[in-house]
Amino acid sequence: MFYKSWSERLFSWVNGTFLIGIACVMLFPFLYLFAISFSSYKEYITNDFMLWPKDWVTDAYAYVLGSNEFMRSIYFTIAITLIGTAANLAVTSAMGYSLSRPVLFRKGVLFLVLFSLLFPAGLIPTYLVVKETGLINSIWALIIPVLVNPFNLIVMRQFFVNIPHEVIESAVVDGANDLKIFSNIVIPLSKPALAAFGLFYAVIHWNSYFPGLLYINNPDKWPVQVVLRQLIVVSDPDTLSVRQDLVNLPPPETVQMAALLLATVPILVLYPFLQKHFAKGVMLGAVKG
């Protein structure tokens, strides 16, 4: 049986206490949002601080869920996240695999990738490119400009470099071409990396705020983060239109908190399903080789 010295036990105790404290600090804002969103107006104005509602009221959630604007933005953001993440993974994995092979102009392309990582394009050139290609007010304006993340591409390439060459060579001997090797051998071996980078890309698309504000002029195509901006930063109650005969008008603050929680929960749900592959996928391309 493994024996821990007193210093190791002390370190484990201090480390565990510190991590629990950090978790509590991170959980505090969610408890506050949760309490306010379910509180009545009387409880809200009489309490400066609360972490748990006394009188459970769901008017704010009924108001938000009954809003066509908010639900439309949620569906639109889900579509952006699904399509964008699939496109990101497809292009990043295909480009990473091709750059891991001895192909023509590989060093030149790698130089351009590193150059774009160190010197990203500015706001005005990017906007002009999006405008001249006719992507304004299109869902593709939120996907194509961020199609490949240079850092993710470099790590993905390194992951493919670490795949044993014997596996690839045996497939070549059996007559498989590059496309078949990539789809039948490389992709199944890359599930941890794809899960990790898929989560990265999904979070980027779900939390994308400025591109939607910059490229989307039609309110019907606003992603959920832009709608939240109208609700919270601009404090515009007319952002959400709800039939007043169907739901009581809750305080604006509780509506804001309910909208924030509803917009946060979907992306948080992904973490438990991808946690098993998350750390493994990030480490594989970084520590081997």
Amino acid (1-letter code) at residue 213: L
Confidence of residue 239 (pLDDT cuts 50, 70, 90): low
Q: How far is CA 94 from the centre of its chain?
A: 21
What is the pTM for the complete model shown? 0.77
Q: Which of 115-129, 144-158, 235-249, 253-267 has the lowest mean pLDDT?
A: 235-249
3-state secondary structure (DSSP) of residue 143: coil
| Residue 289 confidence (pLDDT) above 60 | no
- Mean pLDDT for 13-37 is 84
| Residue 234 confidence (pLDDT) above 60 | no
User: Of the ranges 3-12, 125-134, 169-178, 257-266, which is most confident?
Assistant: 125-134
Distance in angstroms (rounded) separating the CA atoms of residues 104 and 102: 7
Kindly give the interhelix angle for 106-118 and 68-100, rounded to the nearest 10 degrees: 140
Q: pLDDT digits over 138-176, tens only?
A: 889 888 888 888 888 888 888 888 877 777 778 778 777
Asked if 276 and 205 count as a contact pair (C-beta separation under 8 A), the reply is no
Q: What are phi and psi of 181, to 5 degrees?
A: -60, -45
